[in-house]
Structure 1
Amino acid sequence: MTTLILWLLDRIQPLFRALGADYGQLRAIVQVKLMMDNRRNIVSLGRYGKPSAENNNSFMRILLIYTIVGGVISLGMLAIPPQKSLFLPLTLQFSYIMALCAMTLISDFSSVILDSSDNQIILPRPVGNRTLWLARVVHITSYLFGIALSLSVGGILIVGYRFGPLAGLMFLALSLLSAVLMVFLTNLFYLVLMRFINEEKLREVINYFQILMAVLFYGGYQLLPRLISSQGSISRIIDHQWWHYLIPPMWMAATVDLFIKPVLDVHHLVFAILALLMPVAGLWFMNRFLTTDFTQKLSGIDSESRPEATTSSAQQPQSGQASWLEQLSTWVTTEPLERAAFAFTWRVTGRDRKFKLKTYPQLGFGLAYVVAMSFQGGSLGSSGFFYLFALYFAGLYVMVAQYQLGISDNYKASWIYGSAPIQAPGDVLVGALKALILKLLLPFYVILASYILYRYGLDKISDVLLAFSNSLVMLISSALLSTRYMPFSVAPDALKQNNTARGLLTSLILAVIGFSHYGLTFIPYGVWVATPLSMGIFFLLLQHYKKTAWSAIEMG
């Protein structure tokens, strides 16, 4: 893959020279970055797998999955006979391409574009701002092109087969331009943010924005198609409206539609101009106006090279936060070691950006899926027991947080567990689990329950309480069935991925509990009676979890 990317760069090197970059330096930087990608863990492009050369195979497997998914979505264009109706499926196809490219940028932006680990080598050298910025853009765009191409293979073949090779080539070109446009829009926000925000808060703001955008992209892609519930809604979308000019996927769809019909009117002409010029104009705008002090800002956000800022910021919240956190830990814990583990987990989960980025979007996905399914009529969303399905299905997302609880990039600091006089490691595990329940599970269920009660009525309060109690049982059961690690003691790529049997068993138990709950709804006061029994089972399992000995702990 590295050889292919460098070969393509050599073919378009006049473009980089025209943009003001030193092509020799740019090619060398990109080559080294691609080489290093093969030696380390890559975030959303397979970086959570094994190192070395196996990463390339992992990335190729991901592209294969994207190819299959994109092909399934493209089947909608094969099933629609009239050419004039292809505008909507084309829009959905390009929306999926752009959404997935944007998700990749959101998850990888901090570690790729804002990666400052090479500052000590590059900045002292005579490397221009535009050369460094373009090298970073080329680096991430090379991956996005692979993703966009894999997602559009099915569409290229179908469009090319039905409407000729010219339409297929146009589909391919617009798919790649969609990736470029996502690079522009995401870079625009982050580069503008770098110019106006304090460097100490930049990474924190970016982290929360990544979480928010991940939820919005997923929720929007799930919710908007389900809101199109009538033929009139579909016809209004197909008929060109003024707001279509604000939707980039519609630019691309109308441009392909221009070659399929073919037709040339004002709407298609404007769409084609936007689709072909906006990505190029966006890159020119960033290259011309937003990269002047890019390297200076980049060096300023390197938190590792500024220990004094980290120390001062870490000491600020101690005065106000310690009092209420210590009080809360006193209420919910019984042992000093358990209390210390509770406070430790609470603070780390609030400071570790990668933990939040891997965990919080999953909870948002669960809420978005529930809302989207509840708007889907004539199926599960309109059934009488959907609210039970939502309560239990969304609980699966909380188990992701329990899985992430043992992972940390600073896992080498876990030597403290072995050197400290800890006689009962179960106290540490229980304290960490209680912090997870109060900080993530409880607020998550409060939001979910509020929506369920608003949409299905206040009489469902008993079902909400029983589902929450059963979710606690499932969470502690998952902890008991899983390999037990001390909190934040394992490297991200060290956990074994052979948890299929445990996952199937957990899902089976969840299904049994969910259907049992559904059966209790037909028994008078059955749900109210089952709730304290479920809480009793949870506390019994928690006490069993607390008795975990060192022999049952696997150290990373």
Structure 2
Amino acid sequence: MTEFYVLKLLDRLQGVFRRTGVDYPVLRSILQVKLTMDARRTPTVLAGGKDNKQTTAEGSPFRIQWIYLLLGLMLILFVVQDGNYIFSMSITFAILMFMIATTLISDFSSVMLDLRDKNILFSKPVNRRTLNMAKSLHVLIYLLTLTLTVTGPSLIVSLFKQGIVFFLIYAAAVILMDCLILVITALIYLLILRVFDGEKLKDIINYVQIILSIGIAVGYQLVSRLFNLADLTVSYEPAWWQYLLAPAWFASPFELLLGGNRSVHLTVMSVLALVVPVLLLAVYIKLMPMFERSLQKLASEEGAGKDSGNMARRLSELFCQGKEEALFFRFTWSMMRNERDFKLKVYPTFGLSLILPFIFIFNVLWGGGGLEELRNTKAFLFIYFCALLMMTAVQMLRYSTSYRGAWIYKTIPLPGLSPVYRGMLKAAILRLLIPLFVIEGAIFLWLFGVRFLPHLIIVLPALLLYSVLCFRLLPKSLPFSEQYSAARQKDFTGSAFVQMFILMGLAGLHYVISLIPFGIYIYAPVLVIANWWIWRISFPRAELGGS
């Protein structure tokens, strides 16, 4: 078994662990096994980047540090700037918090919520304190390794460029930031664990990750609004809502101690940077036994959602032609509802597609224009960004953790594959795209008024047309018939650029048509005919298939 360097460092502290009641030899053995298993796990950041054999051999989160190192080099551009520390370091910590929080959530939530070690070790003479310490150290090792890799170059450069005081503040702020990210993530999960049970809890955790993705996108916008850029001069204006932004907390000590700005506003935020992480860490330590007890709910199947299938059956009767198409419509609908990995990969995109159009509109409003001025613009075209969801959804419809069950396709007497693909795509459109379009359409109608209604009617067939084009541009595969680790990023990167270009082309064409008197009323039937034609040639009824 691999002898990790971090374990040798822990050996020097074994006396501290023994004094706290931890069985250090057992702790070391547990950590060694956990770190070895990490070396065989494919991290989310590389999922889809290599084939299965490659990812098995190279998928350790500790073997992709060069990626984080390259990303961390960007931070040097901010730490070398003299003066206006609140600007440069707010951007620095916004980037850091985004990278570390998303990586922790995507790759190590499974570690924080893992029950397998309990099932194995509770039957052995291992006390709970040792086991809990092993889990905490496991996450901490990962988090510190990731953080040191990302911040290492900028820390070294800051020591020589800005001096020892800047370096020490930076290092302390990074440690406090790590504590804040780890504790907030754990406390959110604890809150969910206390309220929900079993399978429902596992779904809620996915939804929390969606909310965090949306929060990160919105947070970036708020961080950029901390400053006014006029004539290439950056100015900082205090506001109450800045107390809610953690990157501004961690940037405040630099401006307070090095920039000479002794304002009450910066003092309060500097205190928040120290007090909030430490206070939350103390709360987390206090609640850790409750957290471990609550984890047992993950082993319970109680509360799992029951899908009667009534909605899928009714929709298939309305929108599907033929029994085979209706069958695969209901199958895809059910899989999208129950396939947790599918939801984990697609639903965050749902959240971003929901919020992205309004971020652009927010930028227009922030620029000084009011609601009346907004209604006189073509900003309603931002609704096309909701179709970004289909780029991911159509791609992921081919993958499943239950891919071994794909043998069933060979036992079904199908006249061809067209009914399979038609049912699959219609299910994705009706379950994902249409609800998103209805939500955004209702908000856009409120923002732009009744005059937007004809444009909204045009957008729907345009998005349906775009969905079929996304399907045609991707490699054809039966629904949920391949494993996730078999995904090849190179198969989708080229098509993603083409899909984005097509989406922008549809929005641009809509803009041009809107300049022509009565153009939208001519464009609407053209889109309907184009949809009929593209569906007909993409899913020919006489097609005979293989697999």
Calculate the TM-score normalised by the size of structure 2.
Answer: 0.85
Equivalent residue, structure 1, for 2:119: 120
Q: 1:225 to 1:523 in 2, by over 3 A?
A: same
SS in 1 for 2:91: helix
CA contact (8 A) 1:407 1:487 kept: yes
Equivalent residue, structure 2, for 1:408: 400
Equivalent residue, structure 2, for 1:484: 476
1:176 corresponds to which letter in structure 2?
A: I
Of 526, 533, 536, 1:540 maps to 533
CA contact (8 A) 2:48 2:487 kept: no
Taking the TM superposition and a 5 Å limit, the aligned residue runs for 1:238-253 are 247-253=245-251
Q: 1:497 to 1:272 in 2, by over 3 A?
A: closer
Whole-angstrom distance in 2 between the partners of 1:58 and 1:475 = 37
Taking the TM superposition and a 5 Å limit, the aligned residue runs for 1:327-338 are 327-338=314-325
* 1:301 paired to 2:275: no
Equivalent residue, structure 1, for 2:58: 54
Equivalent residue, structure 1, for 2:96: 97
Equivalent residue, structure 2, for 1:431: 423
Whole-angstrom distance in 2 between the partners of 1:166 and 1:12 = 28
CA contact (8 A) 1:226 1:375 kept: no
Taking the TM superposition and a 5 Å limit, the aligned residue runs for 1:153-552 are 153=152, 155-156=154-155, 159-223=158-222, 225-226=224-225, 235-237=236-238, 247-261=245-259, 275-276=273-274, 278-287=276-285, 289-292=286-289, 294-302=291-299, 309=302, 313=304, 316-318=306-308, 322-377=309-364, 384-388=377-381, 390-498=382-490, 499-547=492-540, 551=545
CA contact (8 A) 1:129 1:294 kept: no
Whole-angstrom distance in 2 between the partners of 1:209 and 1:18 = 38
Give the deviation of 1:293 after TM superposition: 5.1
SS in 2 for 1:21: coil
SS in 2 for 1:125: coil
1:447 corresponds to which letter in structure 2?
A: I
Q: 1:544 to 1:115 in 2, by over 3 A?
A: farther
2:88 corresponds to which letter in structure 1?
A: P
Whole-angstrom distance in 1 between the partners of 2:55 and 2:457 = 45
Whole-angstrom distance in 1 between the partners of 2:380 and 2:447 = 9
Whole-angstrom distance in 2 between the partners of 1:140 and 1:205 = 22
Whole-angstrom distance in 1 between the partners of 2:15 and 2:90 = 33
CA contact (8 A) 2:356 2:385 kept: no
Whole-angstrom distance in 2 between the partners of 1:502 and 1:170 = 45
Give the deviation of 1:333 after TM superposition: 0.6
Q: 1:437 to 1:31 in 2, by over 3 A?
A: same
| Cα RMSD after superposing both structures | 3.4
1:53 corresponds to which letter in structure 2?
A: A
Residues 367-412 of structure 1: per-residue CA shift (max 9 Å, x gap):
3222222222498998944432x23333223221111111111111
Q: Which segment is superposed worse, 353-362 or 86-95?
A: 86-95
Give the deviation of 1:550 after TM superposition: 6.6
CA contact (8 A) 1:226 1:376 kept: no
Whole-angstrom distance in 1 between the partners of 2:425 and 2:450 = 30
Residues 48-94 of structure 1: per-residue CA shift (max 9 Å, x gap):
644233224862343135314544xx53x545x5x3x3224323322
Unaligned runs of 5+ in 2: none
Whole-angstrom distance in 1 between the partners of 2:118 and 2:107 = 18
Q: 1:124 to 1:301 in 2, by over 3 A?
A: same
1:463 corresponds to which letter in structure 2?
A: H
Whole-angstrom distance in 1 between the partners of 2:485 and 2:368 = 37
CA contact (8 A) 1:106 1:214 kept: no
Residues 188-216 of structure 1: per-residue CA shift (max 9 Å, x gap):
23234434543453222222222222222
Whole-angstrom distance in 1 between the partners of 2:515 and 2:493 = 34
Equivalent residue, structure 2, for 1:142: 141
Q: Which segment is superposed worse, 391-400 or 426-435?
A: 391-400
Give the deviation of 1:345 after TM superposition: 1.5
* 1:35 paired to 2:32: no
Whole-angstrom distance in 2 between the partners of 1:203 and 1:90 = 36
Whole-angstrom distance in 2 between the partners of 1:511 and 1:254 = 40
Q: 1:19 to 1:89 in 2, by over 3 A?
A: farther
Residues 486-524 of structure 1: per-residue CA shift (max 9 Å, x gap):
111110111222233323333333343333222212222
CA contact (8 A) 2:26 2:126 kept: yes
Q: 1:104 to 1:500 in 2, by over 3 A?
A: closer
1:291 corresponds to which letter in structure 2?
A: M
Whole-angstrom distance in 1 between the partners of 2:331 and 2:3 = 43
Residues 308-364 of structure 1: per-residue CA shift (max 9 Å, x gap):
x48xx46x442xxx3333222100111111111111211221222222221121122
Equivalent residue, structure 2, for 1:6: 7
CA contact (8 A) 1:192 1:290 kept: no
Q: Which segment is superposed worse, 428-437 or 377-386?
A: 377-386
Q: Which segment is superposed worse, 291-300 or 214-223?
A: 291-300
CA contact (8 A) 1:520 1:526 kept: yes
1:145 corresponds to which letter in structure 2?
A: L
Whole-angstrom distance in 1 between the partners of 2:327 and 2:107 = 33
1:523 corresponds to which letter in structure 2?
A: I
Calculate the TM-score normalised by the size of structure 1.
Answer: 0.84
Whole-angstrom distance in 2 between the partners of 1:27 and 1:532 = 69
Across the two proteins, how many residue pairs are aligned to each other?
531
1:329 corresponds to which letter in structure 2?
A: S
Whole-angstrom distance in 1 between the partners of 2:98 and 2:189 = 17
Q: 1:190 to 1:503 in 2, by over 3 A?
A: closer
Q: 1:396 to 1:249 in 2, by over 3 A?
A: closer
Whole-angstrom distance in 2 between the partners of 1:189 and 1:30 = 25
Give the deviation of 1:479 after TM superposition: 0.9
Whole-angstrom distance in 2 between the partners of 1:120 and 1:370 = 46
CA contact (8 A) 1:215 1:364 kept: yes
1:55 corresponds to which letter in structure 2?
A: G
Whole-angstrom distance in 2 between the partners of 1:18 and 1:471 = 64
Whole-angstrom distance in 2 between the partners of 1:51 and 1:135 = 26
Q: 1:323 to 1:198 in 2, by over 3 A?
A: closer
Q: 1:444 to 1:154 in 2, by over 3 A?
A: farther
Q: Which has the higher contact order (CA 8 A, sep 6+)?
A: 2
Whole-angstrom distance in 2 between the partners of 1:522 and 1:248 = 45
Q: 1:88 to 1:497 in 2, by over 3 A?
A: closer
2:253 corresponds to which letter in structure 1?
A: T
